Every structure is written in C-alpha cells, then in structure tokens.
Amino acid sequence: MRYSLDPSVALCWVVPRAHSGKALRLRADYQRAVHDLIAPSHFPAEVASALTKSERQGVISAGQALPLLDDVLNDLPVLQAYEPLLRRATDISSRTRAGLYDCLYVALAERENCDLVTADDKLVRNLQPHFRFIIPLSALP
C-alpha cells in the first residue's frame, strides 16, 4: 500500500502518544517494504518544528529534539517536491479554510491516488468530509 504521511505520524514514532503503536507498525512495514510512504519535501522541517515545540511545551526534555529528529530522518518517506502541489493545495485551503501545510499532504495524496494517514484529529475533522482518502492513524490495524 502507498500512503501519504503527515508529520503527526512521524512524531508518534519518537514521542509516545495514543497511537504510537500503530505508527511504529506502519514504520516497520515501511522498513520491510510492505508499504510505500511519501510526503511533500517540507516534511522534515515540519517534524523538526513539532519536536522543538514539544521541547518548549515540556513534552520532551530540552535537547531531545535533535536526536529524535535524527531518528525520523533515518526512515524518511520518499519526499516529493512541494512546489508542484502548491496551486492545488492553495485551492483546497481556500475552499475548506484549512491550513496550507495540511493541504499540501492532501494534494499529494490526491495526485498520487493514495490515502493520507494522519494522527492529527483536527485535520481529519476539517478535511476528511471533503477527501475520503484521509485516514486517521487510529483506523489502521
């Protein structure tokens, strides 16, 4: 199976969360070539941002962001240039009033005709009614 992956799932790889077990199974399947994972090219920056935010919020200790980022970078999804997705993502964002960065993942999944997996409940609430290929991480086996 091919999935577009958003940063919330990668965060679950390295920071314990409600569905980290499912995220880790997805990662292990990716490592074994059971699934293909793709993401827009800005994905690593979003993961890094989420990790430094987690430090500031006290979710992880100061100084943990960098080694956790390295862990994610070891299993990056195949990155696709975000620039060709920008017009469609902007259109989706304008129509749904959702954040542009979320819409880049939607535009990628749409273009590649695959599902988008996310642990972001807000993304699911806002965009799944318009795009049935958005799958909450919690729905994976």
> Is the pLDDT assigned to residue 138 strictly greater than 90?
yes
pLDDT confidence tier of residue 141, bands split at 50, 70 and 90: confident
Residue 97 has pLDDT above 90, yes or no: yes
User: Across all residues in the chain, what is the average pLDDT?
Assistant: 97
**Which tokens hold the place of 25?**
């199974």
Size (the chain), residues: 141
Residue 83 structure tokens:
């620039």
Q: Which of helix, strand or coil describes residue 66? A: helix
C-alpha atoms less than 13 angstroms from C-alpha of 64 in its C-beta half-sphere: 15
Per-residue pLDDT for 35 more than 90? yes
Domain of 70, in residue numbers: 2-139
CB contact at 8 A, 102 and 112: no
Across 36-60, average pLDDT: 97
137 to each of 8, 120, 131, how far by Cα in Å?
9, 8, 15
Do 81 and 108 touch, CB atoms closer than 8 A?
no
Report the SS3 class of residue 130: coil
Cβ-based burial of 86 (10 A; exposed 0-12, middle 13-18, buried ≥19) = middle
Residue 32 is predicted with a pLDDT of 97
Residue 49 has φ and ψ, to the nearest 5°, of -60, -45
Domain count, the chain: 1
CATH number of the domain that residue 74 is part of: 3.40.50.1010
**pLDDT tens, position by position, 98-123:** 999 999 999 999 999 999 999 999 99
CA pair distance 63, 40, nearest whole angstrom: 26
List, for residues 20-34, the tens digit of each pLDDT value.
Answer: 999 999 999 999 999
Q: If pLDDT is split at 50, 70 and 90, which confidence band does 40 have?
A: very high
Q: Is the pLDDT of residue 51 over 90?
A: yes
